[in-house]
Amino acid sequence: MLILGNDDIRRILPISECLEVVESAWHSVGQGKGLSTPRINLAVAANENKEYVLKRWDGVLTSRGITGARLTSSVLAIHRSDQHAVGQPVTDAGRFTGLILLFSTTTGEPIALLHDAYLARIAVSASAALAVKWLARSSADTLAMLGAGRQARDQVPLIASVRALREVRIFHPVPEIRERFALELQAQLGLAAHPVAAPRQAVEGAAVVSTASSSPFPVFEAEWLAEDCHVSLSRPSEAPANLFVHADLLVTSGQEHPITIATLGAGDLWTQRPTSPPGVDAGHVVSLDQVIAGRVCGRTDEQHLSVYGAITGHLPGVLFIALAAEALARADRAYIAHKVPNEWLLQEEVS
């Protein structure tokens, strides 16, 4: 079995080469060849302000003969208000547990263990960029990016690879952060990137609006949007409720919400969240895999307003498995992975 850390994975699988891998995985989902279970959250109350959570995503990619599970094990500091609960991972050692374990569907044996942080970010960012590719109008050339963290830094170059961007407007509440991000984009991608002092300045007139703030509250108003805009959300809470009612096309990142199993006093971080935004009719929502696989149409009118996000479900776990499988294949060719003998992991008795 091979073991790969985040730094190794970044070196052999740069973000610029991930879009095709993720698009192929979405296509497999749409064809029924990529399968996933809903994410499972197992939550246990630790004390008044903390809880332990084990999260698991399972998936199988039949085209590669690989199945696997993504696992995160963490202690969260929970901050509660009247309407929201927000969890922040905490650790005494400055390290976090997130793993992807791959198995062969031919032998059933474990074949790789990988860190999950980089691949998880890529799955989210590449999916948002693919939503732009398949849903934004073909002439879209102005991007409003609400956020300037790691997700935003991953998304912009990927979106720039699927649309010829003329301008990127960046909003972050901290001036130094948005200004530094704009300079990075100018230097690295040659984009005309402009930091702006308010989200409205970024959003008005933009052909694509992408959020990467993880805010539990709306970060823009629907009235600011151009009528032919495409919006990609990192989470539905970043958008005003009336956006989902007035949009011409709603595309979800998944069709199943997480299953939460919790002890008393734990788990409300997920159980209190609505399964879909208010006013959304699930029957009028299509999934990104259906669009990419050609089972349903995406944008059919250049004047339509389209929205992508976790509207009726979250990303399928098979995306993480597909990226991990690609990293494994490249690591095998580059001879860079650490190896553990399978004999250490296999047993002579049937479970």
Query: Tens of pLDDT along 55-95?
Result: 999 999 999 999 999 999 998 888 776 666 777 888 877 88
Strand partners, 261: 42
> For residue range 142-159, what is the model confidence (pLDDT) as tens digits?
999 999 999 999 999 999
pLDDT in tens, 319-349: 999 999 999 999 988 777 788 888 888 888 9
> What is the pLDDT at residue 27?
96
Contact status, residue 87 vs residue 60, Cβ threshold 8 Å: no
CB 189 within 8 A of CB 158: no
CB 228 within 8 A of CB 299: no
**pTM greater than 0.85 (yes/no):** yes
Every domain range in the chain assigned CATH 3.30.1780.10 = 2-119+317-340
Q: What local confidence, expressed as pLDDT, does residue 90 receive?
A: 83
| Residues present in the chain in total | 351
pLDDT value, residue 140: 96
pLDDT the model gives residue 278: 78
Q: Where in the chain is the domain with CATH 3.40.50.720?
A: 120-309
Q: What integer pLDDT is reported at residue 270 of this predicted model?
A: 75
In this predicted structure, the answer to whether residue 267 has a pLDDT above a threshold of 90 is: no
Mean pLDDT of 279-289: 89
Q: How sure is the predictor about 273, in pLDDT bands with cuts at 50, 70 and 90?
A: confident
Structure token digits, residue 328 = 């494994």
The answer for residues whose C-beta is within 8 angstroms of residue 65's C-beta and 6 or more apart is: 104, 105, 106
Name the CATH architecture for the domain at 2-119+317-340: 2-Layer Sandwich (3.30)
pLDDT score at 279 = 78
Query: Of the ranges 32-36, 81-85, 133-137, 155-159, which one carries the lowest mean pLDDT score?
Result: 81-85
CATH of 120-309, one of 3.40.50.300, 3.40.50.720, 1.10.10.10, 3.30.479.30: 3.40.50.720
Look at residue 83 in the predicted model and tell me its pLDDT: 63
